[in-house]
């Protein structure tokens, strides 16, 4: 909508959808941006654009050409490239940027967590922990386990492409996942190691609870570093920030 003050929400997360809904409800013109990785994505309310911008320069061009007055990067904690582009692109275009990022998970009593820096490190770590691995790290990360002889149950939204581990069963599913099902899954498949990224949030946390109850070790991948930028942890704080930016 030419000439209308627009807020760009970089999305692909539940928080981004909630923010788009909240801002739309308040009469703010929001465009949500999705990468286009998932075949049938959950769409936020309001206007949506799909596909990469072409790096930081492309993002800077997009915000300038589309009357964007503020950007909220609500992408997934592991979406590092778009995070970098958001910081560089908004700085080039001189548009304010907020990072909306949910808190990471923390181990509690009874958890047996093994933190690693990457999926490659996770593939090494599992060799000392077990033989029947529940992989919940997403379709794009499966190649890291391609050389592993263990048996894998891999849960992903869309079918993965090779290379894959030789002994693997794919479970196509999409969160949120409840505890009853997570318990049943870990029991039915006799899982003895869980591999996850530190995505945080409540939608996929039940697998960690089920693993704790069963004494199953968890290999958990640390979040990649992102450039330092103003950050909030919840949708309501992000809504306040946008309101403040629109008042200016």
CA distance 65 to 75: 22
User: In the complex, what is the shortest distance from the CB of residue 99 to ligand NAP, in angstroms, rounded to a whole number?
Assistant: 12
User: What is the bridge-based pairing of β-strands 218-221 and 151-156?
Assistant: unpaired
Phi, psi of 231 (to 5 degrees): -135, 140
71: which strand partners? 8, 97
Nearer residue to ligand NAP within complex by CB, 20 or 148? 20
Strands 113-116 vs 47-50: parallel, antiparallel or unpaired:
unpaired
Beta strands in 64-205 (DSSP E): 68-73, 97-100, 113-116, 132-135, 151-156, 168-172, 193-197
- Position with the least CB separation from ligand NAP: 52
Contact 30, 24 (CB under 8 A): yes
Q: Which residues contact 54 (CB under 8 A, 6 or more apart)?
A: 61
Tokens (6 digits) for 193:
């190691």
Rounded to a whole number of angstroms, the minimum distance from the CB of residue 117 to ligand NAP is: 15
Beta carbon of residue 113, minimum distance to ligand NAP (angstroms, whole number): 18
Which of residues 24 and 80 has its CB atom nearest to ligand NAP in the complex? Answer: 80
Query: How far out from the chain centre does Cα 211 lie?
Result: 21
Q: Which is nearer to ligand NAP, 52 or 233 (CB)?
A: 52
Among residues 86 and 148, whose Cβ is nearest to ligand NAP? 86
Q: Which residues bind ligand NAP (CB under 6 A)?
A: 10-13, 33-35, 37, 52-55, 58, 75-76, 78-82, 85, 138, 197
For the CB of residue 85, give the shortest distance to ligand NAP in the complex, in Å: 5
Unique residue bearing structure tokens 């909306």: 100
User: Which CB atom, from 74 or from 210, has the smaller least distance to ligand NAP?
Assistant: 74
Minimum CB separation of residue 246 from ligand NAP in Å reads: 21
Minimum CB separation from ligand NAP for residue 79, in Å? Answer: 3
Nearer to ligand NAP, 22 or 198 (CB): 198
Whole-angstrom Cα distance, residue 10 to residue 85? 11
């Amino acid at each position: 909508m030419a000439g209308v003050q627009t807020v760009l929400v970089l999305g692909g997360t539940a928080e981004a959808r909630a923010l788009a809904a909240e801002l739309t409800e308040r009469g703010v013109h929001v465009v949500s941006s999705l990468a286009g990785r998932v075949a049938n994505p959950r769409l936020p309310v309001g206007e949506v654009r799909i596909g990469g911008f072409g790096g930081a320069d492309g993002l800077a061009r997009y915000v300038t050409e589309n009357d964007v007055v503020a950007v909220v990067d609500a992408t997934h904690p592991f979406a590092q490239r778009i995070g970098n582009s958001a910081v560089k692109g908004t700085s080039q275009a001189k548009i304010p940027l907020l990072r909306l990022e949910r808190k990471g998970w923390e181990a509690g009593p009874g958890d047996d967590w093994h933190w690693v820096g990457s999926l490659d490190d996770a593939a090494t770590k599992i060799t000392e922990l077990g033989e029947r691995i529940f992989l919940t790290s997403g379709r794009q990360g499966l190649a890291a386990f391609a050389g592993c002889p263990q048996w894998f149950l891999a849960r992903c939204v869309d079918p993965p492409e090779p290379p894959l581990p030789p002994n693997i069963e794919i479970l196509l599913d999409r969160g949120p996942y409840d505890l009853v099902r997570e318990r049943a899954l870990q029991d039915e498949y006799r899982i003895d190691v869980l591999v996850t990224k530190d995505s945080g949030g409540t939608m996929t946390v039940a697998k960690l609870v089920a693993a704790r109850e069963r004494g199953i070790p968890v290999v958990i991948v640390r979040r990649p570093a992102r450039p330092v930028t103003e950050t909030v942890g919840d949708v309501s704080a992000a809504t306040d920030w946008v309101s403040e930016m629109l008042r200016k």
